[in-house]
């Protein structure tokens, strides 16, 4: 049976990255990637909240997105509008999924610690875009404002309005990267 090696949480990558900031040569030797700035869409948070309240089997388990944020691989931004959207959807989710509203609210309060909430404004000089869904504009504006690599979303309107998107499979690859880097 092949040994998996020591179990080291990917969270350790954040402290390794901090160490390497002062010693750039070490960062190259260990191939530590820079942090990715990503804007997180509401649909991703809702999926994570459902998993955390309904499917999680171990109390300490986290979602892949939470893990890559904690590892320092991703800096997750969200427009202030996201808070409103999530709060608005919690009662509906509770009924549809049969999850006690208190559990959803508790997880949402905890989840917010992973996100950097920002005001999202259209950048001066930013070209006008075709507006497909005005509700998505805060995510698109924030993408430009913070210089994010993409918006993590399943919403095709965001891409149609000019912001690149990535799906959760990219987050899983980043999670695996963080885990592997800690073990090297």
- Domain extent at residue 119: 35-183
Domain-embedded: residue 107: yes
Domain-embedded: residue 160: yes
pLDDT score at 27: 55
Number of domains in the chain: 1
pLDDT score at 7: 46
pLDDT score at 1: 41
For the chain (length 184 residues), average pLDDT per consecutive 10? 46 53 57 80 97 93 94 94 97 97 97 95 66 89 94 94 92 86 61
What's the pTM?
A: 0.81
Residues β-bridged to residue 40: 152
Q: H/E element holding 38?
A: strand 36-40
Q: Are 138 and 120 in contact (CB under 8 A)?
A: yes
User: Which among 145, 148, 165 has a CA at the least distance from the CA of 44?
Assistant: 165
Q: 146: exposed, middle or buried (C-beta count within 10 Å: 0-12, 13-18, 19+)? A: middle
Domain-embedded: residue 23: no
CATH number at residue 104: 3.40.50.1010
Domain-embedded: residue 83: yes
Q: What are the φ and ψ backbone dihedral angles of 129, each rounded to 5 degrees?
A: -125, 155
Q: Compute the distance between CA of residue 124 and CA of residue 182 in angstroms, rounded to an integer.
A: 41
pLDDT score at 9: 55
pLDDT score at 72: 87
Place of tokens 């089997």: 57
């Amino acid at each position: 049976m092949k040994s998996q090696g020591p179990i080291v949480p990917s969270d350790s990558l954040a402290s390794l990255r901090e160490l390497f900031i002062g010693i750039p040569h070490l960062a190259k030797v260990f191939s530590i990637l820079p942090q990715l700035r990503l804007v997180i869409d509401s649909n991703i948070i809702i999926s994570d909240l459902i998993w955390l309240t309904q499917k999680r089997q171990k109390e300490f388990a986290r979602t892949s997105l939470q893990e890559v944020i904690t590892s320092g691989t991703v800096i997750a931004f969200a427009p202030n509008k996201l808070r409103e959207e999530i709060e608005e959807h919690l009662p509906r989710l509770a009924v549809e999924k049969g999850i006690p509203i208190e559990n959803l609210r508790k997880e949402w309060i905890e989840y917010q610690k992973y996100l950097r909430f920002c005001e999202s404004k259209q950048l001066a000089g930013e070209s006008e875009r075709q507006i497909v869904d005005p509700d998505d504009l805060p995510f698109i504006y924030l993408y430009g404002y913070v210089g994010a690599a993409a918006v993590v979303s399943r919403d095709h309107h965001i891409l149609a309005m000019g912001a690149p998107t990535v799906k959760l499979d990219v987050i899983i690859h980043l999670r695996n990267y963080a885990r592997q880097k800690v073990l090297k």
